Amino acid sequence: MSILVTGATGGFGTYALAALKDLISQDEIFALARSEEKAASLKEKGFSVKIATYDDPKSLEQAFHGIDRLLFVSSSEIGSRQPQHKNVIDAAKKAGISYIAYTSFGKANTSTSPLAQDHAYTEKLILESGIDHTFLRNNWYLENEGGIITAALKTGKFVHAGGEGKAGWGLKREFAELAARAVSGKFDFPSILEVGGPLLTYQELAEALENVSGKKLEITSTDADTASQFLQDSAGFPKEAAEYFASAQEIVKSGSLAVEPDDMEKYLGKPLSSTEVALKELFIK
Ligand SMILES: NC(=O)c1ccc[n+]([C@@H]2O[C@H](COP(=O)([O-])OP(=O)(O)OC[C@H]3O[C@@H](n4cnc5c(N)ncnc54)[C@H](OP(=O)(O)O)[C@@H]3O)[C@@H](O)[C@H]2O)c1
What CATH number has the domain bearing residue 132? 3.40.50.720
Cβ 9 under 6 angstroms from ligand 1: yes
Please determine, for residue 285, whether its predicted confidence score (pLDDT) is greater than 90. Answer: no
Question: Where are the extended beta strands (E) located within the chain?
Answer: 3-5, 29-33, 48-51, 69-72, 99-105, 132-138, 157-160, 192-195, 218-221
Sheet containing 192-195: which strands, arranged edge to edge? 48-51, 29-33, 3-5, 69-72, 99-105, 132-138, 192-195
Looking at the structure of the chain, the number of domains it has is: 2
Range of the domain at 90: 3-138
Based on the fold, state whether residues 92 and 151 are members of the same structural domain: no
Based on the fold, state whether residues 40 and 126 are members of the same structural domain: yes
Judge whether 202 and 162 are in contact, CB under 8 Å: yes
Span 258-282, pLDDT tens digits: 999 999 999 999 999 999 999 999 9
Span 19-75, pLDDT tens digits: 999 999 999 999 999 999 999 999 999 999 999 999 999 999 999 999 999 999 999
C-alpha torsion sign, points 66, 82, 77, 58? positive
Question: Where are the extended beta strands (E) located within 208-250?
Answer: 218-221
Given ligand 1 and candidates 53, 76, 247, which is best to mutate, with the most ligand atoms within 8 Å of its CB? 76
Based on the fold, state whether residues 15 and 125 are members of the same structural domain: yes
Please determine, for residue 195, whether its predicted confidence score (pLDDT) is greater than 90. Answer: yes
Residues in contact with 98: Cβ distance below 8 Å, sequence separation at least 6, in sequence order: 68, 69, 131, 132
- List the one residue out of 234, 273, 274, 252 whose CA is nearest residue 145: 252
| Rounded distance from Cα 112 to ligand 1 centre (Å) | 22
Cβ 146 under 6 angstroms from ligand 1: no
| Rounded distance from Cα 84 to ligand 1 centre (Å) | 12
For ligand 1, atom 22, the nearest C-alpha belongs to 10
- Main-chain phi, psi angles of 3, to 5 degrees: -125, 130
Based on the fold, state whether residues 134 and 151 are members of the same structural domain: no
Fill in the amino acid letter for 153. Answer: L
Based on the fold, state whether residues 148 and 279 are members of the same structural domain: yes
Span 237-246, pLDDT tens digits: 999 999 999 9
Based on the fold, state whether residues 88 and 156 are members of the same structural domain: no
Based on the fold, state whether residues 117 and 46 are members of the same structural domain: yes
